Chain A
Amino acid sequence: MFIPHTEAEREAMLAKIGVKQVEDLFHDVPAAHRFPELDLPPALTEMEAMAELQSIADANETVRNLACFLGAGAYHHYSPAAVDALLRRGEFYTAYTPYQPEISQGTLQAIFEYQSLITALTGMEVSNASHYDGATAVAEAVNMAYAHFRGKRNKVVLSPAVHPQYRQTVRTYTAGAPITLLGDDPSADPLEGPQALLPLLDAETALVVVQYPDFFGRIFDYTPLAEAVHAAGALLAIAVNPLALGLLKTPGEMGADIVTGEGQSLGLPLSYGGPYLGIFATRQEYVRKMAGRLVGETVDLRDGKRAYTLTLTAREQHIRREKATSNICTNVALMALASAIYLSLLGKNGLRQVAELNYHKAHYTADLLARIKGYRLIDSAPFFNEFALACPRPVAEINDHLLEHGILGGYDVQQDYPQLKNTMLIAVTEMNSRDEIELLAEVLTEVAHG
């Protein structure tokens, strides 16, 4: 299988080492605990394992056989075949972090190009090589802002319309730091726009975090917010859905200091939650406070050829140890590669096209659903591919009913925002056909009367 040794080779190796049996190599391990009997099922062959895994997989219902209107931070999109075909190249996925540039130029150039694509998409100046996901990227933004002000500003304002799981992750990450998080306490109205954050700014504020589109799918021009944040001497972080940036004004243009994002929408499979892609971009002046790996262009010393290498590594944990801004080491390089391939394939026109498809389909759906008696959109702000719908009955009940019709209904917002009763967050992407949308409307109509 995966261990090539024959018995004869083992014997020869043991003889070279000078021990009789392999057990003799473990004398430092306390005898009382050595060689435990592990209670695990007996080994299967590949053929048997494949069948077992297939049967486990078959016990799931998927977005392939359901009409999916569920989003809330992870979206069902089409990923062109070429993306996965390239990801399956062993030279990419079985390589380690490119610490040896001479034999890692493939990964290095691919990451360099990823950084380039992300800066172009976000309108920022530098991007790192990735964080784990959209949630931890926000947490790293908080860390960075705190480090930037050297602890002299310790308040971070989180818009209540930032993804609830991102905000929870920030809380966990900052549990050991003297950082005060505010703006999203349960009494805050999550539907108030960015202007509601202004009164919270003061001389202690290090960072303000908003999302674009926000958790409810809404899009705001954050330019006035950015001006107010900067006037208070603080930084602004905008967490984005990068697919939306195929259509929308960039956060860079609005004045963001940090742009984070969940890159799953750029061609990554849903995979029940991961691995996804944490996007992190900022302005040149903050590059030395940014965590995570960075690839820089240079030349080789042999022929003066263009070459790439990991750079500014003195920021990172393996050099700075306890003084590093973050402990991040392994990131999600292969997912960054996937997104770069996706963006290369779609390019300028394709990305705009798919973003518009999302926009048009979502708006068609919203119009249709808002006209059904008992339903209404809870907000009138512009939105991208997701919107919140007030329903006549609890969302869980409606979703049970939708599932019977082969529809994966939207997210039950009440789980995170108790004040938003019977509110469903509905995502519509290029994958949803008009027929699916109309079926959704039909079943929702039926449910309202039921």
Chain B
Amino acid sequence: MVEPQLCDLSVPGRQGVRYPEPDVPRAELPANLTRQELPLPELSEIDVIRHYTRLSQLNHSIDTGFYPLGSCTMKYNPKVNEEVARLPGFASLHPLQPIETVQGALALMFTLQEWLKEIGGFAGVTLQPAAGAHGELTGVLIINAYHKSRGDTQRTKILIPDSAHGTNPATSAMSGLRVVEIKSDSRGNVDLEALKAECDDTLAGLMLTNPNTLGLFDEHVEEVIRLVHEAGGLVYGDGANLNALLGIVRPGDLGFDVLHYNLHKTFSTPHGGGGPGSGPVGVSARLVAFLPTPVVAIIEAGEEGEAPLYGFVTPEKTIGRVKAFNGHFAMMVRAFTYILMHGPQGLRQVSETAVLNANYLLALLKGVYHLPYDRTCMHEFVLEGQWEDAPGVRALDIAKRLMDYKFHPPTNYFPLIVHEALMIEPTETESKQTLDAFAEAMLKIAEEAHTNAELLKSAPHTTPIGRTDDVRAAKELVLCCGVEAKP
């Protein structure tokens, strides 16, 4: 059954919500600026509820099943988060209210800044960035501004390991930097010789994901950072994989100068089908003055036991504003609640269990699936989705076949340095039973690959739709429907 489009459901004359008649005299409308046609659908409330409810049921989600998508940290999103974010005392605040009327919100933001500093080992934090990539842009602009402020205008080269997320090079290019790729060594670490060869006085910095996208903690991370620092560069940490490190190690202690946190990964705020996220950025002492504006600060100390007055300040050498208003506040409320409910031991247990789950799953799958870098992994690991004796079967087929077993596939074809990559991140919120069931499906699929490859090539079989015709999608490029009722 194909769900109709809005236009198919539209019936002229229907309306899902009514408004009162104006309680003031009507003003004359500006005739030359008034639109004649408003081609929107016409639906009653129940039409809308059923349409979107049926659509929702076509999705796989964390609430309905295991979602081991590597580098995405699809952990359970606590329901209490959704409640607190909707408290009228948070949801009904205008971003430009006088600070005296929003001391609760500002105190929450200030405290979250302090907590993120503590968790990451940094001297300053901005909550402004809207997502991980936005945090990257913020961080790299800070690095640029730092070098510029020292007259180091020749520092325009940024090093990015070949295992990095695509956002890293895209961010660097947007920031006007020249990207040089650094290869990985045979153990999945940054290749130290390749790094040394690029460490010169044009170096702006290195963008490092640690643990990297292979799920491996760089065995020479301190050496890597030292080399970059000695060349006058700064080290950016991509916090996409921070779920492995809470209470395990603070990136700031290792020498990272900048790091973005993904509140929507590590701190359990939901992914929302692609967003909104939230990507706060932490920085070391020498970069605090460059943070984007505004930052929440205590602007008047409280007198004897009284609460202080919180407000916004602009850092002295700020890179400027990265978006309107105050960041994704509703996500901050969720992350604040999550940290509050975990405390220091609880956060450490999150990362320990995330790493335990990943290594357990790895132990169940290793041998049947080729593990290109055979080391203890952190919160995720990467397998090869191909066998020499099962020609024609690709990672994509394994991914699609997993859907028939009611699992979301792992990330596939990333990182780029592994052939037919399957990148698996179970997260800490999955039980042993779930991991066992997933492993069982993976092993069954490996067997099917050798005995009945066609079953994989034509998968999935049990999903609402089969594989999509992506060539047609790109060629015919139908990007919108008429949303008005069809005549």
Contacts and interface: CB of A to CB of B under 8 A. Distances in A.
Q: Do A and B come from the same complex?
A: yes
B271 A175 contact: no
Nearest to A93: B270
Interface string B450-484: 00000000101101111111101110111111111
A203 interface: no
A225 interface: no
B325 A33 contact: no
Interface in A29-46: 29-30, 33-46
A243 interface: no
A180 interface: no
A205 B25 CA distance: 45
Nearest to A271: B330
Contacts of B392: none
B346 interface: yes
Contact of B468 (A14, A120, A298, A321): A298
A430 B23 CA distance: 10
Contact of B473 (A13, A177, A309): A309
B166 A102 contact: no
A115 interface: yes
Interface stretch (A49-57, A192-200, A228-236): A49-57
A247 interface: yes
Contact of B33 (A61, A219, A408): A219
A84 B325 contact: no
Interface in A375-403: 382, 399, 403
B18 A101 contact: no
Contact of A249 (B33, B57, B134, B357): B33
Given A36-B249, A95-B273, A321-B166, A329 B132 contact: yes
Interface string A16-33: 111100100111111001
A59 B111 CA distance: 15
B89 A25 contact: no
Nearest to A61: B101
Contacts of B118: 38-40
Contacts of B173: 322-324, 327
B321 A135 contact: yes
Contact of A70 (B32, B40, B97, B166): B97
A59 B103 contact: yes
A324 B170 contact: yes
Interface in A86-140: 86, 88-98, 100-107, 109-113, 115-117, 119-121, 126-127, 129-130, 132-136
A173 to B, nearest CB: 8
A399 B41 CA distance: 41
A300 B35 contact: no
Contacts of B305: none
A340 B5 CA distance: 12
A305 B89 CA distance: 46
Contacts of B91: 269-271
Contacts of B278: 275
A319 B474 CA distance: 15
A89 B343 CA distance: 29
B465 A302 contact: yes
A155 interface: no
A85 B49 contact: yes
A357 B141 contact: no
Contact of B320 (A12, A28, A168, A349): A168
B273 A96 contact: yes
Given A102-B464, A301-B466, A16 B247 contact: no
B170 A327 contact: yes
A330 B131 contact: yes
Given A95-B60, A274-B326, A121 B40 contact: yes
Interface string B4-22: 0111001000111111101
A52 B58 CA distance: 37
Interface in B97-150: 97-98, 101-105, 107-108, 115, 118-119, 121, 130-134, 136-137, 141, 144-145
A187 interface: no
Given A101-B465, A102-B400, A302-B467, A330 B324 contact: no
Contact of B57 (A43, A106, A110): A106
A96 B74 contact: yes
Contacts of B176: 175-177
- Most chain A CB within a 10 A radius of its CB, from B221, B326, B347, B472: B472
A255 interface: no
Contact of A169 (B17, B88, B321): B321
Interface stretch (B193-201, B383-391, B427-435, B441-449): B427-435
Given A60-B89, A104-B60, A105-B58, A361 B324 contact: no
B222 interface: yes
A76 B92 CA distance: 8
B171 A35 contact: no
A156 interface: no
Contact of A166 (B77, B264, B324, B430): B324
Contacts of B357: 13
Contacts of A98: 59, 273-274
A419 interface: no
Interface string A152-192: 00000000000101101101110111000000000000000
25 contacts: A17-B360, A19-B359, A25-B378, A30-B222, A43-B341, A62-B92, A63-B93, A94-B270, A105-B55, A110-B55, A120-B482, A121-B40, A127-B479, A127-B480, A166-B324, A275-B278, A276-B325, A298-B473, A333-B272, A341-B52, A345-B43, A346-B16, A350-B16, A353-B18, A357-B22
Given A276-B324, A311-B479, 19 more contacts: A53-B336, A62-B89, A91-B59, A94-B62, A97-B274, A98-B59, A110-B273, A133-B130, A133-B323, A169-B321, A270-B95, A275-B328, A309-B468, A334-B275, A335-B272, A350-B15, A359-B27, A364-B24, A408-B101
